[in-house]
Amino acid sequence: MTKRAKALSDSQVLPMLTNESIYMGVDIGKFKNVAGFLARTLVERHQHFENCPAFLFEQSREGFRAFVERIRAYCLGDKTNLQYRTATLDNINAEIDLAALNFGRKRAEATREARLRFMETNPEITHYLYANDRIVASINLIPLTHDAIFEFQDGKRGWQFNTHQIEQFAPNRRLECIIIDMMTTTKVALDQRFRYASYLLRDFAHITLAEWAKRGVDIATIDACAGTEDGERILKRAGFEYLGKRDERDIYHLDIDKSDLPLLKTYKETLNKWKQEHSTNR
């Protein structure tokens, strides 16, 4: 019984590999049903078949719809039309709506003015992932002055900074940045949210960072606050160093030069090429 409960709590997993078979079994009950999933990737991740995920769902139309969505998350991948875009001021209402899903309407609206001011000061700070013309994920990367970085590491919240503390993504200087928000829609299963976050980071690295590198934009460090357990796992997997708790906030730091994160490989190579070309032209 203990192992079964553990499996239920571990049902939020990443999608399967392309062309991989997945096996399912369903135990039909009077009021609730339990579905079990088994595949090579799942066994490798959970170490034993008894620990592979199970999905508990109600004996109702809504319950079976949730079950179908779970199967879709494992088996079908994302068939939606995904688009990556840099934000504009016209998108602020949609961004606030996404923030409201994650933090509540009151907290989201409290950041509206700051989001507008920040984007007016630096139009390149916010980036979205769209699925069928609807924002499903976003990230804010803000370059700040050196003194502002220390304030952030001491616990100051990102939207509280003044606009004169915001830098531009310009060449010939080492930039220190913070991630304020990285959000995904809460209207899909957690597996899908993980995929949206992954796609967003992939496109941010391969499109935005790659373009900045061609312009000589040199990012030295990135700091972030882990507001959730999922956020903490993402930061740790990306190689962020834990700096400690400040004002009830867990602060993490990434040194780009020391990082071997694969997503940064193209950015670092392109930036080094730019530096070599411009050093010889001087």
CATH number, residue 216? 3.40.630.30
Q: Which tops the pLDDT comparison, 14 or 64?
A: 64
Same domain, yes or no: 70 and 91: no
* CA dihedral of 109, 115, 120, 126, whole degrees rounded to 10: -130
Same domain, yes or no: 130 and 69: no
Same domain, yes or no: 182 and 264: yes
- The whole-model pTM stands at 0.72
Can you give the three-state secondary structure of the chain, one letter per residue?
CHHHHHHHHCCCCCCCCCCCCCEEEEECCCCEEEEEEECHHHHHHHCCHHHCCEEEEECCHHHHHHHHHHHHHHHCCCCCCEEEEECCHHHHHHHHHHHHHHHCHHHHHHCHHHHHHHHHHCCCCEEEEEECCEEEEEEEEEEECHHHHHHHHCCCCHHHCCHHHECCCCCCCEEEEEEEEEEECCCCCHHHHHHHHHHHHHHHHHHHHHHHHHCCCEEEEEEEEECCHHHHHHHHHCCCEEEEEECCEEEEEEECCCCCCHHHHHHHHHHHHHHHHHHHCC
Same domain, yes or no: 33 and 56: yes
Q: Give the residue-averaged pLDDT of 116-144.
A: 96
Q: Which tops the pLDDT comparison, 210 or 236?
A: 210
Same domain, yes or no: 130 and 229: yes
Same domain, yes or no: 168 and 263: yes
Q: Is the pLDDT of residue 75 over 80?
A: no
CA 197 to chain CA centroid, nearest Å: 4
60, 75, 90 — which closes off a domain? 75
Radius of gyration of the chain measured on its C-alpha atoms: 21
Q: Is the pLDDT of residue 133 over 90?
A: no
Q: Which tops the pLDDT comparison, 233 or 252?
A: 252
Same domain, yes or no: 146 and 36: no
With both helix axes pointing from N to C terminus, report the angle between 112-121 and 92-103 in degrees, rounded to the nearest 10. Answer: 130
2 pLDDT band (50/70/90 cuts)? very low
Same domain, yes or no: 35 and 167: no
27, 59, 75 — which closes off a domain? 75
22 pLDDT band (50/70/90 cuts)? confident
Same domain, yes or no: 95 and 195: yes
75, 96, 117 — which closes off a domain? 75
Q: What is the pLDDT of residue 12?
A: 39
Residue 91 tokens, joined: 């998108």
Q: Give the residue-averaged pLDDT of 224-236.
A: 82
Same domain, yes or no: 20 and 95: no
40 pLDDT band (50/70/90 cuts)? confident
- Domain limits at 66? 2-75
Q: Give the closest residue to 82 by CA, choosing from 175, 212, 188, 165.
A: 188
Same domain, yes or no: 241 and 115: yes
Q: Which tops the pLDDT comparison, 174 or 45?
A: 174
| Domain total in the chain | 2
Q: Is the pLDDT of residue 176 over 50?
A: yes
Q: Is the pLDDT of residue 120 over 80?
A: yes
Q: Give the residue-averaged pLDDT of 51-62.
A: 82
Same domain, yes or no: 30 and 115: no
Q: What is the pLDDT of residue 228?
A: 75
Cα end-to-end distance, the chain, whole Å: 71
Q: Give the residue-averaged pLDDT of 84-104.
A: 95
With both helix axes pointing from N to C terminus, report the angle between 190-203 and 61-75 in degrees, rounded to the nearest 10. Answer: 40
